[in-house]
Amino acid sequence: MDSLKRGLLIFGIALGYGLTMWGLFVLVKHDEVFAVVSWTFVFLVPIVIGGLTTFFGIRLFERSTFWIHFAPMIAMASGALIAVLFELEAILCAVVAIPIMTPFAWLGGFLVGQLLKKSDGKLQMSFLVLLPLATGPLESLWEQPHREIEIHNQIAIDSPAATIWKEIASVRPIQREEIPFQWIYLLDFPRPIAAELDRHEVGGKRIATFERDVSFFEIVTEWEEEKRLSFSIEADPDFIPKTAFDQHIIIGGRFYDVLDGNYWIEATEPGKCMLHLSSSHRLSTPFNAYAGWWSEWVMNQIQGSILHVIRNRCEAANQ
């Protein structure tokens, strides 16, 4: 067997294992037993992928820096790229996962490289390959930690509070050209479209819509004319299309939810104000600190986009 065929075989074995685990954890819809947002899938499966790459690389070629240190990361990154190209995963999911999963693939390759100095590693590799099938169900028995985070943005607007208030109570349909450049939209995140309010008082129902038929149902909890608008947010995971967001972080689902939103207007000087927008989010993952960083990154851009649109509309109304 020539070198190219051997190399393709090695990466094929590693990626085949990864695809099998992806099918088990994602397609087989057993969230109570195999959760994709888990230590097992995010950390242990990459270790196995990296370990398999190094194990067969050394056996079919020779012990080298490439097969111990670089090939495991190449295999993991290639798997993520293939998943995106074949639309098995969202781009955002791959961007979030690669910084974690690639280093753990390297760790798996490194550990197997050390193991093969002392033995043929066959028994240990067999155990490692099967380990996620045992740890996945065990991990599902633990209750995931809950964490709430608040994300706040603000923007200075050269307009009086009365003008700003008209633009936040209900948001007229937003054209694409009104929305500023943000990285999340390059990652195919739905853009905001509009927000409609049925009555201007506490208890009023507000429907915020985004691209790809995404809607959030909001109930007004505070109404201070030209000062503060607060609302609770309800996201029905069965209503939001599964193709709208990353399939593993369904809003209103097991791992993530948006709880409420708040606008308030702060007068800074005559005819000028600071508009604030904040929202609260619930995270329920094994790695809330990391998930929280990404939530803040995404929401800062979404809220920043909305504030940008409101500012431009208000200042245009003054002209």
Predicted pLDDT at 304: 94
Give residue-wise pLDDT tens across range 51-61: 999 999 999 99
CATH of the domain at 191: 3.30.530.20
Beta pairing, strands 272-283 & 147-157: antiparallel
Residue-wise DSSP of 254-304: SSEEEEEEEEEEEEEETTEEEEEEEEEEEE-STTHHHHHHHHHHHHHHHHH
219 and 305 fall within a common domain:
yes
Rounded Cα distance, 2 and 37, in Å: 39
Q: Domain containing 42: what range?
A: 3-139
156 and 277 fall within a common domain:
yes
Nearest to 39 by CA among 284, 287, 247: 287
106 and 17 fall within a common domain:
yes
| Number of separate domains in the chain | 2
pLDDT category at 95 given cuts 50, 70, 90 is confident
80 and 216 fall within a common domain:
no
221 and 95 fall within a common domain:
no
125 and 157 fall within a common domain:
no
16 and 108 fall within a common domain:
yes
Length of the chain: 319
Q: Is the CB of residue 241 less than 8 Å from the CB of residue 251?
A: no
Mean pLDDT for 153-178 is 93
Look over the chain and give the mean of its residue pLDDT values, rounded to a whole number: 88
Residue 245 has pLDDT above 60, yes or no: no
pLDDT category at 241 given cuts 50, 70, 90 is very low
pLDDT category at 247 given cuts 50, 70, 90 is low
Give residue-wise pLDDT tens across range 52-94: 999 999 999 989 999 999 999 999 999 999 988 887 777 888 8
Share of the chain above pLDDT 70, in %: 91
Predicted pLDDT at 152: 96
Residue 86, CA distances (Å) to 80, 89, 91 in order: 10, 8, 11
176 and 306 fall within a common domain:
yes
152 and 298 fall within a common domain:
yes
Task: Give, as one character, the DSSP assignment of residue 170.
Answer: S
